Structure 1
Amino acid sequence: MAEDLRGKVAIITGASSGIGKETALALAGEGVRVVLAARREPRLREVAEMIDARGGQALIVPTDMSVPHEVERLIRMVVERFQRIDLLINNAGYGLFASIEETTTDDLRRIMEVNFIGAFVAIKAVLPVMRQQGRGHIINVASVAGKRALPYSGAYSATKFALVALSESLRVELAGSGIDVSLVCPAATATEFFQVAENRTGRRVRPVGPVQSAGEVARAIVGLARRPRPEVITFKPARALVVLNAVSPRMIDWAMRQSIKRARQRREESTAAGAGPGV
C-alpha cells in the first residue's frame, strides 16, 4: 500500500538547486513539510518562496554538510520545530573532475566530507529520533558512478561507492526496526553539476550519453517515499551498464577508453577547424 505523505516532515540536503530543489517542490506538492538544507541561503529562500506560493510549508536551515556540528544542529532544529523527522534525503554533493594523479589528499578529504561524511553524520543524528518514533525513511542519493567508476572522476565516484556501501549495510542492520533505507542512483542529470564542479582536466566536461531532468529523479524519490524499496537506478539503460560491469568489467573499460578517444578526436578536429588554413 502506498504511503500517505501528507503532514510528514522531510529533510532535504543540497536543496538549493538541481535534484534537491525539484525533490523539495515535489514533496511539498504532496503535502510534506519540507526542511531545506544547503549552504546558499539566498537560493534556499527562493525555493521556500516557490513552495509557499504553491500553498506548501518549508523551513530553511542553512547548513554546511562538511561541518559535523552544523549537520547535528540541523537535526536538532527540525526536532525542536516539528517534534519528528519522517524522511531524511541525503542529496548534498559536488563533483571533481581530475585524474587520480592530479587529485590531492586535500581534494579527496574535502569531497568525502561533503558527499559522504555529511550524510553519515546526518544518519547518525537522525537514527535516535526515528527509533523513538518507531519508523522513518532514509533516502541516500548516490549515482550510477557509485556502481561503476568513471575515468577522471575517481574521487567523486569513491564518495558515491561509499554511500552505496553505507546504505546497503544500514538497510540490513535496520531490518525490522520500522526504518527503511533506500538508495537512488541517477545517471547524468541536467543540473548545474557540471558547471560548478571542480575541473582539472583542461577541457570542458559534459555528460556522456542521454541526460535526465532533475524532475525525473525527483519523481523517483517521491515514488520511493510512497513505496519504500531498497534501490532505484533512475535511468533504465544504466541498469544494463551495472550488470555488464559485474559480468565483464574489461568490456566496460574498453567502451570507456573508446569514448575518451572519440572525445579527444572531436576536440582535435574542432581545434584544427578553428585554426583555419595554414600559411
Structure 2
Amino acid sequence: MSGAFGGQVVLITGASSGIGAELARQCAAAGARVALAARDADALARVAEECRTHGGEALVVPTDVTVEAQCRAMVDRTVAHFGRLDMLVNNAGMSMSARFDEISDLSIFERLLRLNVLGSIWSTAFALPHLKQTRGRIVAISSLAGLTGVPKRSAYCASKHAMAGFFDALRVELRDSGVSVTVVYPGFVRSEINRRALAADGTPFGERAYLRQPREALETAACARQILRAAAGRKRDLIMTVQGKVGRILKWLTPGLVDRLAFNATASRQ
C-alpha cells in the first residue's frame, strides 16, 4: 500500500474521528501527505499530530461540508498548500434511527441529504479538475444501507442510495479520464457515527441501547485497511462482509427474504 500512496496528497472529509481519522493515520504511515477536514478543529489537530508521529505531513482544514463555499475553500487550501491532489475520500456523514411514522422533525431528511450527499457532491466537483491532472482517485464511503432498505434508517438509506447512484454515474463519465471511483459499503463498524445518529426528534441518539454495536462489528483499523487496499487497486466497489455480499445476491433473487431478515435483525437489537 505504501507504493500506492507514498508522496501523494490525500484529502479526507470527516477526518476528526472514526473511519476518517484512522484512514488519515494509515495514509500518513504509508507516506502520504494528508489534508484533514471536519468541523471540529481541535479534534483535527489531535489527528494531525498522530499523523505526524507516523511520519506523514498533515494539514488541518476546518470545514463544514454542508456549506458549498466551504467545500470549495477546503479543496483550494489543500492544493495551495501541497501543490496537487491525488485522492479525495468522501467520508463525512451522519446516521439516524427512527421509524418514519414516528419522526417528529422532518428536517432530519434535509440534514442527512445535505451532509451525506451534497457534501460529497460539492467536494468532488471542486476536487475533480485537480484529480484529472494527477489521474487520481475518488473514494466514497457509503454503507450497506446504500444497497438495501434498513428499518428505522429511512433518511440514512435515502442518502446512501443517492450517494451510490451519483458515484456510479460519475464512474462511467470518468471512464477515459484516468480518475477512478471506488464506492465502499461498510457494515457495522466500531465508530463514533452511531453516537451522533439522530433520533425521531432530531436530537443525537447518544448511547441509547438500540444503537449499541453488535459483537461482529468491524474494528475501525481493519475497516480502513480494506478501504485503502480497494482504493490502491482502483476497485469499482468494496463490500466488506460475507453477509453483505450474500445479501446483495439474495436481494436480486429473493427480495422478500431480505426484507424479513432486515426486519428481524433490527427487532433483535431493540
Q: TM-score, normalized by length of structure 2? A: 0.92
Task: Confirm or deny that 1:154 pairs with 2:154.
Answer: yes
- Report the equivalent of 2:4: 4
Larger Rg computed on CA atoms: 1
Change (3 A) 1:204 1:260: closer
Gaps of 5+ in 1: 265-279
- Report the equivalent of 1:25: 25
In structure 2, how many angstroms separate the alpha carbons of the residues matched to 1:10 and 1:79?
Answer: 10
What is the aligned length? 263
In structure 1, how many angstroms separate the alpha carbons of the residues matched to 2:82 and 2:268?
Answer: 53
Secondary structure, counterpart of 2:35 in structure 1: strand
What do the CA deviations read for 1:227-253 (whole angstroms, capped 9, x no partner)? Answer: 111001112321101111121111011
The Cα shift of 1:206 comes to 2.6
- Report the equivalent of 1:251: 257
Change (3 A) 1:183 1:4: same
The Cα shift of 1:208 comes to 5.0
In structure 1, how many angstroms separate the alpha carbons of the residues matched to 2:221 and 2:2?
Answer: 20
- Report the equivalent of 1:61: 61
- Which one-letter code corresponds to 1:242 in the other structure? R
What do the CA deviations read for 1:194-224 (whole angstroms, capped 9, x no partner)? Answer: 2221123986323457210111111012112
Report 1:165-176 matches (<5 A). 165-176=165-176
Report 1:226-241 matches (<5 A). 226-241=232-247
1:212–1:235 Cα contact (<8 Å) kept: no
In structure 2, how many angstroms separate the alpha carbons of the residues matched to 1:260 and 1:127?
Answer: 38
Secondary structure, counterpart of 1:190 in structure 2: coil
Give the share of equivalent positions with the same residue, in percent.
Answer: 32
In structure 2, how many angstroms separate the alpha carbons of the residues matched to 1:3 and 1:166?
Answer: 29
Secondary structure, counterpart of 2:5 in structure 1: coil
- Report the equivalent of 1:82: 82
What do the CA deviations read for 1:36-88 (whole angstroms, capped 9, x no partner)? Answer: 00011111011011111222110010001111111110011111111211000
Task: Confirm or deny that 1:217 pairs with 2:223.
Answer: yes
In structure 1, how many angstroms separate the alpha carbons of the residues matched to 2:170 and 2:215?
Answer: 32
- Report the equivalent of 2:110: 109
The Cα shift of 1:105 comes to 3.6
Change (3 A) 1:4 1:254: closer
- Report the equivalent of 2:36: 36
Gaps of 5+ in 2: none
User: Which runs of structure 1 show a deviation greater than 4 angstroms over 4 or more consecutive aligned residues?
Assistant: 260-264
- Report the equivalent of 1:185: 185
